[in-house]
């Protein structure tokens, strides 16, 4: 059961599932490891964890990305504080909108820390800052994936992040904070059929 007394919420952004074997991506696994480090660091705090993501087409996988991340986390670490599984979000924009809705509905008061990949931090921060609009104190905790990529991988992924950021800013420039989900469904192509 979610309570309003939690003083820190970790929002774990989902990442892809291998469609052949339904195994969580390396990025997803690393995000879970960062979460574990944060849980240990905040062991004396009241913690709420949001695992985000229904995900995009995951082949025949019976689990959402959020369920796959929870499953992986529990297999590795056995214990998890209070958590919530989101099964609405299809991407980072949805992660921000649906997590804000969850926190608002639960009257959460406290700090918010987003857990994502190092290559995704800049875009995630832009998205969450625009969607959350100073409602919560937001910080990020990140993986260390870039250190293990070659120059071409880094260039490709950072270009994709840059392009996605531009599209987000153009699309959400006039974001309606009073009607976030209808706005998402009206203006974001991933959500227009959902």
The C-alpha angle with vertex 84 and arms to 79 and 88, in degrees rounded to 5, equals 140
* Number of Cβ within a 10 Å radius of residue 80: 15
- In this prediction, residue 60 has a pLDDT band, given cuts at 50, 70 and 90, of confident
Burial class (CB in 10 A: 0-12, 13-18, 19+), 131: buried
Predicted local confidence at residue 1, as pLDDT: 45
* Mean pLDDT within 26-35: 95
Q: Is the pLDDT of residue 38 over 60?
A: yes
Q: Is the pLDDT of residue 43 over 60?
A: yes
pLDDT > 70 in the chain, percent: 94
pLDDT tens digits, 87-139? 999 999 999 999 999 999 988 989 999 999 999 999 999 999 999 998 999 99
CATH no. of 8-191: 3.40.50.620
Query: Whats the size of the chain, residue-wise?
Result: 194
Predicted local confidence at residue 179, as pLDDT: 95
d(CA 90, CA 185): 11
pLDDT tens digits, 151-186? 999 999 999 999 999 999 999 999 999 999 999 999
Predicted local confidence at residue 175, as pLDDT: 95
Q: What is the 3-state secondary structure (H, E, C) of the chain?
A: CCCCCCCEEEEECCCCECCCCCCECHHHHHHHHHHHHHHHHCCCCCEEEEECCCCCCCCCCCCCHHHHHHHHHHHHHCCCCEEEECCCCCCHHHHHHHHHHHHHHCCCCCEEEEEECHHHHHHHHHHHHHHHCCCCEEEEEECCCHHHCCHHHHHHHHHHHHHHHHHHHHHHCCCCCCCHHHHHHHHCHHHCCC
Chain position carrying tokens 């996988």 = 61
Q: Is the pLDDT of residue 78 over 90?
A: no
């Amino acid at each position: 059961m979610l309570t309003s007394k939690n003083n820190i919420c970790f929002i774990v952004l989902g990442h892809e599932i291998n469609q052949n074997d339904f195994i969580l991506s390396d990025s997803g696994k690393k995000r879970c490891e960062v979460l574990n480090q944060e849980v240990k660091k905040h062991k004396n705090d009241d913690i709420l964890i949001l695992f985000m993501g229904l995900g995009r087409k995951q082949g025949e996988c019976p689990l959402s990305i959020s369920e796959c991340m929870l499953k992986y986390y529990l297999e590795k670490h056995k214990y998890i504080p209070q958590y919530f599984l989101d099964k609405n979000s299809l991407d980072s924009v949805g992660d921000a909108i649906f997590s804000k809705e969850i926190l608002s509905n639960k009257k959460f008061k406290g700090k918010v820390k987003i857990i994502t990949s190092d290559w995704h931090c800049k875009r995630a921060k832009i998205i969450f800052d625009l969607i959350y609009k100073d409602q919560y104190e937001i910080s990020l905790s990140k993986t260390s994936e870039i250190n293990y990529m070659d120059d071409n991988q880094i260039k490709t992924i950072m270009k994709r992040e840059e392009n996605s950021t531009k599209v987000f800013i153009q699309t959400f420039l006039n974001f309606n904070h009073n009607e976030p989900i209808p706005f998402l469904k009206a203006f974001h192509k991933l959500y227009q059929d959902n």
